[in-house]
Amino acid sequence: MAESDAANVLALRTAVDVSRDGIVIVDPGGDVCFANPAWLAMHGCQVLDHLPEAAFHTDAQLALDVRLLARELTRSGRAQRKVGHKALDGRVFDTWTTAAPLGSGGRVEIVRDLSAEAVPDAALLLERNVFLDSVVSRGADRKERLRPLPPRRGRLLHPSGSRRAPGRGRNRRSRGADPHRPWAPLASYQEDPHLRRPG
């Protein structure tokens, strides 16, 4: 075996060993012939002694989940579905299983424990609820401390955003503003003869 091939095999073995998902190989006879540490821990095993696949499923799971997985694998060449499993201590849990056939007639499965997935979700939900409660309580305290502002007197706003009020009544003409353009700038002394200074 070339050095590059040996390095690839070592890298693949390392990835399988450290995988969070369980990886298992089932031979054509229905025995589990390989399982990575995650799969062993999932099922409460210390070492694998070529136990039959039926040891890790209930009768109902074998009759429904495992049978449907095998049917889909035969029909499509690949299968993905929810499959129930049973640990050696009798604990039953659901998994999401991806299966693919092997050239020898067996199959390889990648198994994710759905019950383990629910643990961080519950923790995140609890953390989110605590955070929301703290925000609501701080908002309630702040609302009690605040006093309502007195009502403001309404003022017209210039279209440009200025708070300058338009001229009113006779002052508008006396100040040189165009009565038809209340927002027009005031006329200068040179533009309006009524406002010119004597002399």
In the predicted structure, residue 21 carries a pLDDT above the cut 80? yes
Mean pLDDT of the region 183-189: 49
- What pTM does this model have? 0.57
State the DSSP H helix or E strand holding residue 181, giving kind and residue range, or none if neither: none
What are the pLDDT digits (tens) for 119-171? 555 555 566 566 666 656 655 555 555 555 556 555 555 555 555 555 554 54
Give the Cα separation of 187 and 194 in Å (integer): 10
Token code pair at residue 174: 């006396």
| 3-class SS string, 93-158 | EEEEEEEEECCCCCEEEEEEEHHHHHHHHHHHHHHHHHHHHHHHHHHHHHHHHCCCCCCCCCCCCC
Q: What is the predicted pLDDT for the residue at 67?
A: 94
Domains (range + CATH), the chain: 10-118 (3.30.450.20)
pLDDT band at 189 (very low <50, low <70, confident <90, very high): very low
Residue in the block written with tokens 């298992």: 24
pLDDT band at 174 (very low <50, low <70, confident <90, very high): very low
Query: Among 102-106, 107-111, 179-183, where is mean pLDDT lowest?
Result: 179-183
Instruction: State phi, psi for 38 to the nearest 5 degrees.
Output: -65, -40
What are the pLDDT digits (tens) for 24-72? 999 999 999 999 999 999 999 887 777 899 999 999 999 999 999 999 9
In the predicted structure, residue 184 carries a pLDDT above the cut 70? no
Give the Cα separation of 130 and 138 in Å (integer): 12
Q: What is the predicted pLDDT for the residue at 127?
A: 63
